[in-house]
Structure 1
Amino acid sequence: MRNLLNFIIRYSTWFVFTFYVLISVMLLVLGNRYQQSVYLTSANVISGGLYNGASQVTGYFHLKSINESLQASNAQLQNEVLNLKSQLAQYKVLLSDTLAPLPSKDRYDYVSAAVINNNTRLPKNFFTIDRGSLDGVERGMGVVDQNGVVGIVNVTGPHMARVISLLNETQHFSVKLKDTSFVGSLNWKGEDASIAYVEEIPRHVEYQVGDTIVTSGYSTTFPEGIPVGTILNRVRSQDDSFFTFKVRLMPDFRSLSTVRVIKDIHKAEIDSLSNYDILKKD
């Protein structure tokens, strides 16, 4: 206490000077409109700068939640597009058969997930996502990102799942030329992470460099029409009856971050019909 009193007494002159300066400034500002306007303008500039800085800091920490919200909205929109395409295809069939039943709605759904581990340098590449069986993820479900096909789920745990990357020499994907019925098989050859090859395309097919390769829809893994890549050029095929295309893949596998797992509500029914003869023998 004594030290505090000694400090105040020692610097009392400065305290009194500061007090009078503050009083003078207050009287000057309150008694003159011009000084009031200058003060308010300066205060608004300073406070605005402080608020803007605080807003940028808090906004940075909210980026994750904003990104998750955008991904959920994007997944919902893609889900609606896929279901509308599916319903449109069924309505086209109805035009030729008015006695057919009405098409079912919402065949496809998405589960958004984050990639927590990824590899692109091995002949057989996999990546891990932070969604599992408790989130509805099952073995055999297709996985896409915002650009196109990236893989197929092959192992699931309660909270995570492992995905066979498209960059896996053992995997083949059923694809076709966009807006045609010509189907082929896409396979990665273990070289460039951005290049794959489409084989078994009939030689009479008309194509151009830059044409889009999409999923064929001939399985429950991927709906029809999901982008895969674009044709770079034709390469020599082992079978002279078919073309082989060199394709630039649309997804950037080195920077996978957020993906979506595709759920087909008809998968169990279609698989059971496909395996009917096998199950009957058992």
Structure 2
Amino acid sequence: MQNLLEFLQKYHHWFLFVLLEIVSLVLLFRYNSYQGSAWLSSANAVAGHVNSERARVESFFSLTKVNKDLTLRNFYLERQVTQLRKLYAELTGDTTAAERQELQMLSHYELIPAKVVTNELNRPDNLMTIDRGAADGVEVGMGVACGQGIVGITYLVSDHYSVLIPVLNTTSRISCAIRGRGYFGVLRWDGKDPNVAYLEDIPRHARFNRGDKVETNGYSSIFPPGVIVGKVSTVYNSADGLSYRVKVELFTDFGCIRDVVVISDKTIGERTRLLQAARDSLKLNVKE
């Protein structure tokens, strides 16, 4: 014990120096947004490589269940598409119109396959990392989905990795609608149950049922319309009583998510330029 005390007394100035350095770095990166963002991007690149190797091992042992789920889901979707095409052909007499419309809509989007290398579930500000980045065509603000439904939106992008803000993040805001009803609202997570989110600001005159599907409405450039989200579980009044707050049972199982796709909209550049031109024109008219 005496030797330990002598050691600490002899080198106490070095311990104090290290402690002050740690405190200064914490203050620098925590309270300065630029340095914090730079640190997060650099740390993400290093940690992403390590986590990618771990994810490959975990993915190998879960392949049996994943392949089984994908096979069953593909079978279900193929049957659904076939039935819808037959119904459309019976009603219109045109057997190719539905297929042409589907191909035309999908041609606007490019799907970039990726794998999840880190995932959080127990924080209010959960983040997720995938093994695709700018070198693969990923940009900030792109939507990410999986075979079960939506996953989140890209937030930070390095050359080979990207950090997502998933649905299970209290800052996430995604515009969604109730399928076949036309009513839309904002999907938010309350930071509690990872299987549930809430669709808010649904108008009071809306009519829908428990079990109705919730999907993206395509009003933003992040997700195309029709990407599945979940189903209506329970309906509550909003805090001010002016709208409904709909409890949505999420279809995406964030606890075992592995394979995802990043959705790139090829027309976003043109639409952004057109919108900006309209805003500039309005500003000029107001000044005149």
Superposition TM-score tier, normalisation by shorter sequence: 0.5 to 0.7
Map residues 124-203 of structure 1 onto 2, 5 A cutoff: 124-203=125-204
What's the CA shift string for 1:95-121, capped at 9, x where partnerless? xxxxxxxx7871012111000000011
* Alignment partners' CA distance in 2, 1:181 and 1:104: 19
What's the CA shift string for 1:124-176, capped at 9, x where partnerless? 11100001111111111100011101100111111111111111111111000
SS at match of 1:214: strand
**2:121 alignment counterpart:** 120
Q: Which has the larger radius of gyration?
A: 1
**1:273 alignment counterpart:** 274
Structure 2 residues without counterparts, runs of 5 or longer: 1-59, 86-96, 284-288
Instruction: Provide the alpha-carbon RMSD of the alignment.
Output: 3.2
SS at match of 1:270: helix
SS at match of 2:167: strand
- Corresponding letter in the other structure for 2:152: G
Cα displacement (A) at 1:279: 6.4
What is the aligned-residue identity percentage?
Answer: 37
* Alignment partners' CA distance in 1, 2:269 and 2:98: 23
Equivalent pair of 2:173/2:188 in contact (CA under 8 Å): yes
Equivalent pair of 2:181/2:208 in contact (CA under 8 Å): no
**2:41 alignment counterpart:** none
Compared CA separation, residues 138 and 240, structure 1 to 2 (3 A): same
Cα displacement (A) at 1:277: 5.6
SS at match of 1:168: coil
**1:48 alignment counterpart:** none
* Alignment partners' CA distance in 1, 2:185 and 2:222: 16
* Alignment partners' CA distance in 1, 2:154 and 2:173: 14
Cα displacement (A) at 1:90: 9.9
Aligned residues between the structures: 199
* Alignment partners' CA distance in 2, 1:168 and 1:127: 10
* Alignment partners' CA distance in 2, 1:214 and 1:88: 20
SS at match of 1:256: coil
Equivalent pair of 2:183/2:206 in contact (CA under 8 Å): yes
* Alignment partners' CA distance in 2, 1:112 and 1:207: 35
**1:217 alignment counterpart:** 218
With normalisation by structure 2, the TM-score equals: 0.61
